[in-house]
Structure 1
Amino acid sequence: MCLAVPALVTALLPDDRATVSLGGVSSTCSLELVEGVAVGDYVIVHVGYALSRLDAEEAERTLALLAELPADAA
């Protein structure tokens, strides 16, 4: 099973990369597949690549649903 999750863009980096935050954890991802991303945007991230932008309301709703999952759901 694959899972792509919303992440908040906290910084833009060189070479089409960004720092993103998910649940307080920061990591980097590639922005090569998505145009026009800015700090403060949410992006859907899967295996290190941002696949699309997502509006804040939908991202927060999705993150709230994921937070409701039991810890052993995976």
Structure 2
Amino acid sequence: MCLGIPGQVVEIVDAGQHLAKVDVSGLRRVISVRLVADQSLGAGDWVLVHVGFAMAKIDETEARLTLAAMEKLGQAYLDEIEAFDSSAIA
């Protein structure tokens, strides 16, 4: 199962290439934020991450509620965290 998971933007690493470092449950990865480039992202903002792309900008309340609900999914949540942990943009 592939889910979207909330991540918090830590920094914009390359604005020209639309790349940002996000933190998802303590794991940090560089992802593409090109799909939400028109929403002026910055450090501290929350995004919904799926397969290395920010799909939507979300507010902190929605992010925290979604993370709490996902944690209750058990293995599906752990699988998503594992997939995020093994992903990288080259």
- In the superposition, the TM-score normalised over structure 1's length comes to 0.89
| Bigger share in strand | 1
Counterpart amino acid of residue 68 in structure 1? K
1:48 equivalent in alignment to 2:52: yes
Counterpart amino acid of residue 2 in structure 1? C
Structure 2's unaligned 5+ residue stretches are 80-90
Q: 1:72 and 1:49 mapped to 2: Cα distance? A: 19
SS across alignment from 2:35: coil
1:28 equivalent in alignment to 2:58: no
Q: 1:45 and 1:70 mapped to 2: Cα distance? A: 18
Q: 1:43 and 1:70 mapped to 2: Cα distance? A: 22
How many matched pairs? 74
- The aligned counterpart of 1:37 is 41
Counterpart amino acid of residue 33 in structure 1? L
- In the superposition, the TM-score normalised over structure 2's length comes to 0.74
Q: 1:59 and 1:27 mapped to 2: Cα distance? A: 17
- The aligned counterpart of 2:88 is none
Identity %: 35
Q: Let me know the Cα RMSD of the aligned residues.
A: 1.6
| Bigger share in helix | 2
SS across alignment from 1:33: helix
Deviates more, 1:54-63 or 1:30-39: 30-39
- The aligned counterpart of 1:60 is 64
